[in-house]
Amino acid sequence: MTWMQRQGAATAVLAWFAVLAGELSLALQRGALVICALSTVVLAVLAARRGKTVRPLTLLTVAGLLLIALLLVTGKAGPERSAPALRLGLSMALLGVTVTQAVLAAGARRKSAADAGGEGFALLCAGTALATSILLLTGAIVTGENAGLACSGWPLCNGEVFPAGDRLAGINAFHRVASAGAGTLVAVLLWRTFAARPRNRALVLTGGALAAVYAAQVVLGAVNVWLDLAEPVRAAHLGAAALAWGTLVLMTVLAFRVAARPVAAGGTVAIPTTSRGASILAYINLMKPRIIELLLVTTVPAMVLAERGLPSLWLMAATIAGGVLTAGGANAINCYIDRDIDQVMKRTRRRALPGNRVAPARALAFGVIIGIVGFLELAILVNLLAAVLSISALLFYVFVYTLWLKRRYTQNIVIGGAAGAIPPLVGWAAVTGRIDLPALVLFLIVVVWTPPHFWALAIKYREDYAAAGVPMLPVARGDAATRVQIFWYTLALVACSVLLFVSGGAGILYLAAAVALGIWIVRMAVQLLRQGDGFPVMKLFTFSISYLGLLFAAMIADQAARSLL
């Protein structure tokens, strides 16, 4: 091991110890942070002197020092509701930064993509790291809420998966479910790591370490419950979990470097120099603001229905902010994954990545970071259920729709549309802390609305999707079959919209609006079915957006009228 590698490893170990020290003593954590700051600077200076990827290391050093500064000024060590999650989130970010800095400073060699399964494997590493970060943050929320002993027994909580009527037990149960989800991803990741042919030695060794550390933290979690949160076991559990997170970050960085796409002859693809304002607009473009607008249209009315009136402006602002961040993160990661087909499709060529306005690695990092920040913001300022629902939408959109369904199945949008239907659940949970029948009806409305909305667009851009190799329904079955499906889904949409009145979630004013809007959109679907290519399909696509907005606006108007009566 070279001196550079030793220095990088020492910096990462100091960052890990700072995570652990936060559980034991604020003074001890601050001492570790000061030493970590010095080690970070020394590593950056040594790397710069040896010509090692200076700019990324400089940015990582600045980020690390900023995180250390924030940790040094963050609150007391006591168990305030939000402080543990905030401090742990910052500590985890610092650990991730130092691990990445160590890998870059060591100058890890890039190999061929075949060594580790390419970008798909690298994205699996990133998703597993994200899920593990959620696991750690939910654990910190359990600490902040003093819910550590709310569940007796393990793995079930008081003999149930989700105990009804007990808020603290529910928070604890969420942490256990997060552990199961993260553990499943870890198992899949390890299977992919050891089954790869040819194997990558560095990834195999890191995977072996991950298996041991993750198993240890699961066992320590169970012992933690059985011994009623004994301090040594609690600290060991956190230390093992943080070590698992750091190991996953290491695997992710190695996997992306191994799977780096070969550069065409003639050099690297240049990212044009742009003004600061243009750069900001490029990152906003990655978040797909128009899609986020639709999500907000469904979140706010759900909050009004749940409150049976207007919720506090603070709660609405906090919920919207978290939703924008997590949805924007999902869209940015989607842009990173789909940058190859976006380059082919005329409709998407002007996006930030195909237009070379943002480097792919930065787009991915941007998406992951704002997604985690959105989850943390919702967990701290709103509630854990809203945060879990929001991040689950991100994970579903990225891993189920984008990576699995989109390029394989004609019914991709039917299942994948569930990700866009989660915002009403987030809004409802933000107000009530639970999910009730009207919230599920709102979810169903958006799920059924998505196929006819998106298939209308797919008919218009069928040649685009065919050129990109995406098996959208018009490409695989033809326009005529797609128009039939649009008609049937439109009928189902109208029926679902009426269910909100039947379930008691809305009154007669909403019912009148739902029927009128339903007649209008069914009429357009019939025209599309009868006239075929003679009907301007984008007219239906555009109206479907207005339909959803007006339907949810009718919910607010109906609630306002019921409040006045």
**Average pLDDT of the segment spanning 368-380:** 85
Whether 388 and 455 map to the same domain: the answer is no
Whether 100 and 189 map to the same domain: the answer is no
DSSP 195-226: H-SSPPHHHHHHHHHHHHHHHHHHHHHHHHHH
Mean pLDDT of the chain: 83
Whether 126 and 252 map to the same domain: the answer is yes
Q: What residue numbers bound the domain in which 56 lies?
A: 1-107
DSSP 389-445: HHHHHHHIIIIIIIIIITTT-TTHHHHHTTGGGSHHHHHHHHHHSS--HHHHHHHHH
CA nearest 323: which of 283, 293, 290, 351?
293
Whether 117 and 244 map to the same domain: the answer is yes
The larger pLDDT score, comparing residue 424 to residue 17, is at 424
- 377 within some domain: yes
pTM more than 0.85? no
Q: What is the dihedral of CA 248, 250, 256, 257, to 10 degrees?
A: -160
Whether 304 and 355 map to the same domain: the answer is yes
Whether 391 and 300 map to the same domain: the answer is yes
DSSP 481-512: HHHHHHHHHHHHHHHHHHHHHHTTSS-HHHHH
Whether 79 and 156 map to the same domain: the answer is no
The per-residue pLDDT for 79 is: 41
- The per-residue pLDDT for range 426-449, each reduced to its tens digit, is 999 999 988 889 999 999 999 999
% helix, strand, coil for the chain, step of 5: 80, 0, 20
- 417 within some domain: no
Q: Which of 77-86, 117-126, 478-487 has the highest mean pLDDT?
A: 478-487
Whether 457 and 562 map to the same domain: the answer is yes
Cα separation values, 412 from 402, 462, 564, Å: 9, 15, 44
Whether 100 and 128 map to the same domain: the answer is no
The larger pLDDT score, comparing residue 361 to residue 396, is at 396
- 168 within some domain: yes
**pLDDT value at 506 more than 80:** yes
Whether 252 and 124 map to the same domain: the answer is yes
The per-residue pLDDT for 275 is: 57
* Cβ(4)–Cβ(52) below 8 Å: yes
Cα gap 218→270, rounded to integer Å: 45
**Average pLDDT of the segment spanning 249-259:** 81
The per-residue pLDDT for 114 is: 40
For the chain, the domain total comes to 4
The per-residue pLDDT for 439 is: 93
- Identity at 244, one-letter amino acid code: A
- The per-residue pLDDT for range 210-230, each reduced to its tens digit, is 999 888 888 887 787 777 767
**Average pLDDT of the segment spanning 22-42:** 79
* CATH value at residue 367: 1.10.357.140
Confidence of residue 116 (pLDDT cuts 50, 70, 90): very low
- The per-residue pLDDT for range 127-177, each reduced to its tens digit, is 888 888 888 877 877 777 777 777 776 667 767 766 666 777 777 777 778
Whether 396 and 488 map to the same domain: the answer is no
**Average pLDDT of the segment spanning 510-527:** 95
Cα gap 456→346, rounded to integer Å: 17
- 274 within some domain: no
Of 107, 132, 149, the one marking the end of a domain is 107
